Amino acid sequence: MASKRSVPFPQPARPLTQRIAPFPDLLLEEQRSEDIHRNAERVCRTAEHVSAATLVQPLFVPMTAKEMCALGWDELDVLLINGDAYVDHPSFGVVLLARWLIHHGFRTGIVAQPRWNTTEDLLTMGRPRLFAGVSAGALDSMLAHYTAFRKKRHDDAYTPGGKAGARPNRACLVYTNLAKQAFPDLPIVLGGIEASLRRVSHYDFWTDALRHPILMDAKADLLIWGMGERAIVACAQRLERGEDVRGIPGTAYDQGLPASPPAVLAAQPYVTLPSHEAILQDATALLHLTQELEQQVHRRDAWAFQPVGKRAVVLARPAAPLCTEEMDTLYGLPFTRKAHPRYTHPIPAEEMLRASITSHRGCGGGCSFCSLALHQGRRISSRSAQSILAEARRLGLQRMQQGKGPIAISDVGGPTANMWQGHCALEQRTATSADDTAVTAKSACHRSSCCFPSICKSFITPQNKHVALLRDMASLQEVKQVRVASGVRADLALRDTMALAAYTGEFTGGQLKVAPEHCAPAVLQLMRKPPLEVFESFLEAFTRQSRRSGREQYVVPYLMSAFPGCTDEDMYTLAHWLRQRHWNPRQTQCFIPTPGTIATAMFYCERDEAGNPIYVARTDAQRLRQHHILMQTEATPATPQKRRRGHAGEGKNHAR
């Protein structure tokens, strides 16, 4: 490995507080004229064209000084520190952002899974010129390390050899501390799922305690929440110009003293969240906070403000979702889909994701236990059919050039496969400037879910187009077969019988993932899931279509135990329902209260969304008892020795 002195280092940057402009000046950018807004897309496209021409995308984003020098770079603009191993695949968020920054002209390097007892790994490419970004990886580090019963995990799909232990607990805190030691006075920016869901006061299941917003524990300068493409580029651009990074849409910052709304909010719609101290005094306040935060994300135009002692955390309005053209550009970047050549052991996630294609992001489901509402959001950002087909053809060609024949595409989807090109008929397209600072119109929707308590008539999901896309892909000479492994939403599939027939008869590889989660009406209501009758109607249609196509196929149901409001009696009801259908789920998911979700807030305060008291299985003993009630289903005499056509096979763990 080349010495860290093999490249010239820039002089230490001035402290962030010396480089930023006065905060109220941000209002000038927020109030640009309508004429500038109309020209925003043209300006953005021109800027992207110029920046893309200045930097060539490398085969791999550099991880060493030697790789950086080989690209002709004498220094980095941005260093990204990641809790995952480096696999050059668009499903890895830090890798996606690194290539996006390079596309916009910023020399970016990655330090993956650095040792946390020394700063040496962070210094290998020298001090970055603008900022260092920190992410725990694809999973919250505590979730990656511990089971639902707080037992230590022994495997990690995002680490060479699949072995756990390559990242620390609370990785965002540890990596930020390392970065501050390595690069004094350099701006440190948090991001990723761990930081995003901990951006305000949150319940921590692993210590059974309420924790401060992560910015206040990590002492970072900025936090990017949600999908960070717009925010991270805006951050780099503002630091390049010597401007204040506070107020970028999709970011949060620690205001410090005083704990009152800053001047910038005087001209902005904003939501005052319950203070940290109020939640400590009344646990129900966490539920109110989570509901308010969920609405702040969805309404699009509002900032948020939470007092924490004598300080406060300020959340700028949400960043606008990427449009189709931007999604196509992003996913069209030259990802190798391989692990960095430095690794000598295979990385399990690389193999799992190698032949998968992301068609969209976001989910309109709004399930109360799911973090997507606060991270990806309910709005769907979809790639074009042309972009997706081009990626499939490219993957097939790469395989054929290796003499292996056409490729089998393992999945074409996103959080829910049949939401590709989903959109709300009430939404109006709003232009944004190159720095994403245009004023965004407030959403006309006040629902917490596009699908609960019933599917909104304004939620448009053109599943016939999705099926046409899958058929076009399957017809490519570079493609052997196409499967949908990311799962479909049953209530949406029932709205289009022809699409359901296609999913069942053409694109199911023996098993189709569906998430009923439970069968007890009260529990489904708390989960924001459709009633059991919807799932049973889907099963009947699936079985009928499977028989028509002459295929032996099974539904893989995602089921959950110990959900807030779920009693032992509810679990016996679910177990009885499974026995009636001769189903034998060998693995189920015990609810894990991950930070930021409505369900976690209900777990913490032991009340439903309306404030009514509910039973919560809080102790490990109570949670294990519910889990075992369901798992005992496999020991019942009613379980057949041979699985039946059209019936469910084995239940599988589902990451939430």
pLDDT digits (tens, 9 = 90+) for 98-123: 999 999 999 999 999 999 999 999 99
Tell me the three state secondary structure of residue 4.
Answer: helix
- Judge whether 596 lies within some domain: yes
530 and 415 in one domain?
no
Tell me, yes or no, whether 425 and 500 share the same domain: yes
Last residue of a domain, one of 224, 253, 282: 253
Residues 111 and 124 sit within 8 Å (Cβ to Cβ)? yes
* Start-to-end Cα distance in the chain: 39
Q: What are phi and psi of 590, to 5 degrees?
A: -80, 130
Residue 43 is predicted with a pLDDT of: 37
pLDDT in tens, 541-560: 999 989 888 888 888 888 99
Whether residue 521 sits in one domain with residue 415: no
CATH at residue 493: 3.30.750.210
Q: Cis omega before residue 453 (within 30°)?
A: yes
Would residue 304 count as lying in a domain?
no
- Same-domain status, 437 and 530: no
**Which one of 195, 229, 253 terminates a domain?**
253
* Euclidean distance between CA atoms 84 and 76, whole angstroms: 20
Most confident of 347-356, 419-428, 626-635, 640-649: 347-356
Same domain, 93 and 224: yes
- Which of the pair, 304 or 53, is modelled with greater confidence? 304
Same domain, 117 and 15: yes
For the chain, the average pLDDT equals 86
Strands (E), 417-518: 423-424, 459-460, 479-482, 511-517
Query: How many domains does the chain divide into?
Result: 3
Looking at 244-258, 383-397, 522-536, which range is the least confident one? 244-258
Buried b (16+ CB within 10 A) or exposed e, 109-144: bbbbbbeeeebebbbbbbbbbbbbbbbbbbbbbbbb
**For residue 40, what pLDDT band results from cuts at 50, 70 and 90?**
very low
pLDDT digits (tens, 9 = 90+) for 245-259: 999 999 999 988 777
Tell me, yes or no, if the pTM score tops 0.85: yes
Per mean pLDDT, which of 9-23, 49-63, 323-337 is the most reliable?
323-337
Give domain status of residue 321, yes or no.
Answer: no
Is 650 within a domain?
yes
147 phi, psi to nearest 5 deg: -80, 180
Instruction: Calculate mean pLDDT across residues 10-37.
Output: 36
Q: Which residue, 509, 531, 556, sits at the end of a domain?
A: 509
Q: Are residues 484 and 568 in the same domain?
A: no
Give the residue numbers spanning the domain of 487: 355-509
What digits encode the pLDDT tens for the residues 45-56? 434 433 444 789
Residues 454 and 583 in one domain: no
**603 with 646, same domain?**
yes
The answer to whether residues 502 and 528 belong to one domain is no
Give the β-pairing of 270-272 and 303-308: parallel
pLDDT at 452: 94
Q: What is the CATH number of the domain that holds 656?
A: 3.30.750.200
Q: Cis bond leading into 274, ω under 30°?
A: no
- State the maximum Cα–Cα separation within the chain, in Å, rounded to a whole number: 73
For residues 71 and 117, state if they share a domain: yes
Residue 645 has pLDDT above 90, yes or no: no
Let me know whether 165 and 139 are in one domain: yes
- Asked whether residue 435 carries a pLDDT value surpassing 70, the answer given is no
